[in-house]
């Protein structure tokens, strides 16, 4: 069955979420991935929303983190303060993030492009809860379009910490040991981070994509795993669930290009 780049990224993200784990999500692709995981291999996945919904039974795709559906038959209808406290206490396994820029160590910029903080060329929305989530959730999954303007050697502003400047830097900054970026999922490939350098490296190439394409769309030198595989294409069952149960209104899938 034919599929779009967005559908492939959602399926890749869903496969990373394990049964019985906890994941803090926003709306869009992260929520679609979590819903798909629940409907396939992870029925006991616990979803948390920044606005306070904990373990809802999502009837439809929410349009915001404060949408009433994010509290539908939830275990808790609490607050942002409580959800962030759960992260700080080490109770949240996964979170999803994105940004305008990402560097080799998985640091993210969602604050500004060009200029300085007071007079940027482009003012972006800022951190929201991204810094908190990336600082304290155990594993950060980054879903982002692969483009050399986004994958840069140095951020215009470091909004959200990845591995900062390399091995040991997160811990030196006071962040919990064992936390940090886990996967980077793009429309070209899936990447992880090498243990010895904490730099991004190619883990698998999407069907029909080449390493040359990935390198051309990256503004810094990428490492490559010893035996990079080919990303598994979405199955017919995954696509059917995505289109008929996860996002039948095509709030997310309708934007696929």
Catalytic residue numbers, as ranges: 50
Residues 104, 10, 157: CA angle, nearest 5 degrees = 30
Going from the C-alpha of 203 to that of each of 31, 147, 175, 191, the distances in angstroms are 23, 18, 26, 5
Pairing of strands 22-25, 46-49: parallel
Residue tagged 């795709």 (tokens): 61
- Residue 60: which residues within 8 A CB-CB, separation 6 or more? 69, 248, 249
| Phi, psi angle pair for 125, to nearest 5° | -65, -25
Three-class SS state of 132: helix
Which DSSP state fits 225?
E
Radius of gyration of the chain (CA): 18
**C-alpha span between 90 and 25 (Å, rounded):** 16
């Amino acid at each position: 069955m034919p599929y779009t780049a967005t559908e492939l990224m959602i399926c890749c993200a869903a496969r990373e979420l394990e049964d019985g784990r906890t994941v803090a999500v926003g709306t869009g692709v992260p929520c679609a991935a979590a819903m798909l995981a629940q409907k396939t291999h992870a029925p006991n996945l616990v979803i948390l929303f920044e606005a306070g919904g904990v373990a809802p039974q999502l009837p439809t795709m929410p349009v915001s983190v404060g949408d009433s559906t994010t509290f539908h038959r939830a275990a808790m209808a609490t607050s942002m303060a409580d959800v962030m406290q759960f992260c700080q206490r080490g109770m949240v396994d996964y979170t999803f993030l994105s940004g305008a820029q990402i560097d080799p160590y998985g640091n993210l910029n969602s604050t500004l492009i060009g200029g300085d903080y007071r007079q940027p060329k482009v003012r972006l929305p800022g951190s929201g809860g991204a810094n908190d989530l990336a600082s304290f959730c155990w594993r950060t999954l980054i879903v982002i379009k692969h483009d050399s303007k986004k994958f840069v050697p140095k951020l215009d502003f470091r909004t959200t910490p990845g591995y900062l400047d390399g091995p040991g830097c997160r811990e030196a900054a006071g962040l919990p040991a064992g936390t940090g970026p886990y996967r980077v999922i793009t429309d070209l490939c899936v990447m992880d981070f090498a243990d010895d350098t904490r730099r991004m490296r190619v883990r698998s190439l999407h069907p029909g994509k080449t390493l040359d394409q990935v390198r051309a769309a990256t503004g810094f030198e990428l490492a490559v795993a010893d035996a990079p595989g080919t990303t598994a294409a979405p199955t017919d069952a995954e696509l059917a669930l995505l289109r008929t149960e996860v996002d039948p209104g095509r709030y997310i899938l309708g934007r696929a290009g």
